[in-house]
Structure 1
Amino acid sequence: WGRNQNGQLGLGSTEDSLVPQKIQAFQGISIKMVAAGAEHTAAVSEEGALYGWGWGRYGNLGLGDRNDRLVPEKVSTLNGEKMNMVACGWRHTISVSDTGRLYTYGWSKYGQLGHGDFEDHLVPHKVESLADSFIKQIAGGWRHTMALTSDGKLYGWGWNKV
């Protein structure tokens, strides 16, 4: 509930909601994790499917374009990997597969995607520099990203200004 200017509530409209409402698009689908960015939302189902909706201008929905979505839509470009967790930054999204691989997509003006460039990515891309690590926790900030590995190493990247 709350502001819904770009459809981030997943209700099929851009009308604000003052009370909690059930997301009808998930009828019959069990969701195990949800994350909210500035104006977009992402979720992972119990079956490992990844979904995105809301404001998509920077590809932060992972759906291959820059369009907004008013209802959750399944991300289909994951090479068969099942997702285990998801986090949102301001305009980017981070997900981890059940094998511990880290994926990021969306806005990368400050390098917060971790791909060694400043290019927006419209679909999830594996973070190659952490390909040999098993990621167990993630967090997205305004212009940065954090990841914790199974062996207790903490990584951060993106904007690092005070």
Structure 2
Amino acid sequence: MSWFGFGFNAFGQICVQEKSVQEETSDAVGEVKVSVPVELRSHVDHSCCLKTCQIRASWSRRACLHESRCVWLAGFSASSISNDTRGCRDAIISESHLTLAFPDRIESWDVQRKDKTPLWSMEIIPQSESSGVNLPLVPGGYIASKPPIFRSLAPHLQAKSLALGGDHVILLTAPGAVYSWGLGSHGQLGHGGLVSEEEPRTVEALWGVPMSSVAAGGWHSVCISEGGDLYVWGWNESGQLGLPSRGLQKAPQQKKAQPTELSDVSTPEEEPHDGDKHEEVFISIQAFPALLDVNPSSDFQRASCGSRHTAAVTTSGCLFTWGWGEYGQLGHQTFNSLDEPRRVEFFKAKDLHVVDVVCGPWNTFTAAVKKGVLDLKNT
């Protein structure tokens, strides 16, 4: 399995600037914007296995969890973080702290200081080899993206997985119900209004439809049903819900109105005749979960949200992305934004089957395997 990255790379989260490469280079290495998926290269010490099994991302950093049970960081001030990660089973990274899950404990470290002791720690009952903590969930609660690091959760919620948004939380229960709480100013909680919630509240519009996974972005949310359907809600300013966005429709119109090199006079667009007029529907906020149609029709198994973009993997191994694309985080070899899901053709062209996706705020990381290798594993 290989991991690829694309999007925001100002701190070397995707690919590190080589000394022999000039700042003016047009190659992906060293560029702030990477629009083509680039296979990640590890610079971890060779005493540690280099095969990455999981990636977590924040705005300026990337954390790689290796099969040898150690964590390596890339990005801003990554070299200054030297705490021992051997034996780590899971990790999450934010702009303020790195949290590590070991078989017998949870530790959270301040990434901006060279502390010799964790900022917060908690002992847990040792787990078996086949089980473990599923961060940001921990026994009795979850790890927040800002202090207080530990937040408690009521046992009756039967939490299965949890996704942290900019200022909101989406929780999936064992029976497949979805709860949300936190900031609700852009409809990201899915309750039909713009009101914030201090305590977990059921997303009633999804009641009776068991969900298999949840994801949260800056001000939007996504979940996938057990049947592979994709539901979206929240802010759609950059098309991150895959629904018609007025902001994205204005951009091409403004470009069309600009003078060309052949003429310094721009002609106004023709007004449609009365019989041709129709009202276009744009969605800035979707306060209730909406079923997202994707062309071609697909069943989804994984999804992840950035600050203002979304990525999802189908059961057939295709990657679809949409939303804000200014840093190339959609992987379509452009810096355009999209308000409808589009398949990333890079992986199909390389005969790669996508198996996982993780979005940072402004970038995207994807795991893929050769289709021939996958076929052998399935036989």
Normalised to the residue count of structure 1, the TM-score between the two structures is 0.90
Partner of 2:329: 112
Partner of 1:21: 201
In the aligned structure 1, how far is the partner of 2:307 from the partner of 2:234? 12
Structure ranking higher on relative contact order (CA contacts 8 Å, 6+ apart): 1
Shift of 1:39: 0.3
- Provide the aligned C-alpha RMSD in A: 1.1
CA offset digits 1:87-110 (Å, max 9, x no partner): 001100000000010000000010
Find the aligned partners of 1:87 and 1:8 in 2 and give their Cα distance.
Answer: 15
Aligned to 1:56: 236
Give the Å deviation of 1:54: 0.3
Preserved CA contact (<8 Å) 1:49 1:82: yes
SS of the residue aligned with 2:297? coil
2 CA distance for matches of 1:78 and 1:45? 18
* Residue 150 (structure 1) shift: 3.1
Partner of 2:309: 92
Distance 1:20 1:88 in 2: 20
Opposite residue 47 of structure 1, the aligned amino acid is: G
Partner of 2:183: 3
Q: Does 1:42 align with 2:222?
A: yes
Q: For residue 150 of structure 1, give the secondary structure of its aligned residue in structure 2.
A: strand
Quick one: distance in 1 between partners of 2:188 and 2:365? 23
Q: Partner of 2:299 in structure 1?
A: 82
1:49 CA drift (Å): 0.5
Decide whether the 8 Å contact of 1:52 with 1:63 is kept in 2.
no
Contact 1:62–1:123 (8 Å) recurs in 2? yes
Distance 1:20 1:150 in 2: 38
Corresponding position of 1:122 = 339
Residue matched to 1:137: 356
SS at match of 1:87: strand
Shift of 1:77: 2.4
Distance 1:77 1:137 in 2: 19
Q: Mean alpha-carbon deviation: is it higher for 5-14 or for 61-70? A: 61-70
> Which runs of 4 or more aligned residues in structure 1 lie more than 3 Å from their structure 2 counterparts after TM superposition?
none
Distance in 1 between the 2:298 and 2:332 partners? 19
Q: Secondary structure at the match of 2:202?
A: coil
Relative to the length of structure 2, the TM-score reads 0.39
Aligned length: 151
| Alignment match, 2:287 | 70
Q: Please tell me whether residue 32 in structure 1 is matched to residue 212 in structure 2.
A: yes
Please give the alpha-carbon distance, in whole angstroms, between the structure 1 residues aligned to 2:206 and 2:296.
23
| Deviation at residue 51 of structure 1 after TM alignment | 1.1
Question: Distance between the aligned counterparts of 2:368 and 2:356, measured in 1?
Answer: 7
- What is the rounded CA distance, in whole Å, between the counterparts of 2:292 and 2:243 in structure 1? 6
| Contact kept? 1:82, 1:98, Cα under 8 Å | yes
The percent of aligned pairs where both chains have the same amino acid is 34
The AA in structure 2 aligned to 1:29 is V
- CA shift digits 1:64-121 (9 cap, x unpaired): 3352100110101232211111000110000000001000000001010000111111
CA contact (8 A) 1:6 1:68 kept: yes
Bigger Cα Rg: 2
Q: What secondary structure sits across from 1:18 in the alignment?
A: strand
Unaligned ranges ≥5, structure 1: 152-162
> Which residue in 1 is equivalent to 2:318?
101
1:63–1:76: 8 Å Cα contact kept in structure 2? Answer: no
